[in-house]
Amino acid sequence: MPSAFVLGVDLDGTCADFYNGLRPIAAEWLGVPADSLTSEVSWDLPEWGVARAPGGYPKLHHFAVTQRDLFRVLQPMPGAPQALRQLSDLGVRIRIITHRLLIKNFHRVAVQQTVEWLDGHDIPYWDLCFLADKSAVGADLYVEDSPRNVAQLRAEGHPTIVFTSSTNRHLAAPRADTWDEVLRMVTARMGRRPARTRHAPLRPARRSTRSTRPRS
């Protein structure tokens, strides 16, 4: 069978509304009103003062996932499940690539919550990859919000769409502000691919996962 068009998709800040989901949990952990934490954040959340709290971001992250089920309760970005279902029906092989195993000793919880979230929102995927170096996982096109990951992917020659957030407005196009725009950009990219690589739509194996420990 001809090879599928592979779309490498980030989760937090791209498919899942990470910062809005984390904000009330961070407010509880910091002991401040939620409305005192701005929604206009930069990477590592200096605006919230997380680094000044005991344990910094790693402790907040551990609390959010293990005590407040962060990865299970996040809301999807508007239109993300619907766009990914449309792309899957077009034959796109959706490869979820996330660095959610960044803290040791709670990988099982993070993986379980991630799979339940994906399936609970009916988001189709063929591969589920947990690793920091996203360029190590092949894809024809990536959708990513992390400035560092975008820079690395592009430096290594991987076409990457920036999914817009307050953390990455300084990055160059191509970028998408909505999942409708992602859908249009991906289908346009597929149209420029050689015809011999296209194929009939494939159905994903919903619970088949691939887990890779992040680099230390």
Question: What whole-number distance in Å separates Cα of residue 192 and Cα of residue 161?
Answer: 16
**Amino acid type, 56:** G
Has 12 been annotated as catalytic?
yes
Contact predicate 60/26, CB 8 Å: yes
Q: What are the DSSP calls for 82-127, one per residue?
A: HHHHHHHHTT-EEEEEE----STT-HHHHHHHHHHHHHHTT---SE
- From the CB of residue 119, how many other CB atoms can be counted at a distance below 10 Å? 13
Measured in whole angstroms, the distance separating CA 104 from the mean position of its chain's CA atoms is 20
Measured in whole angstroms, the distance separating CA 45 from the mean position of its chain's CA atoms is 17
The DSSP output letter for 165 is -
Question: What whole-number distance in Å separates Cα of residue 93 and Cα of residue 198?
Answer: 11
Catalytic residue, from 12, 17, 127, 145: name it: 12
Has 10 been annotated as catalytic?
yes
Active-site residue list:
10, 12
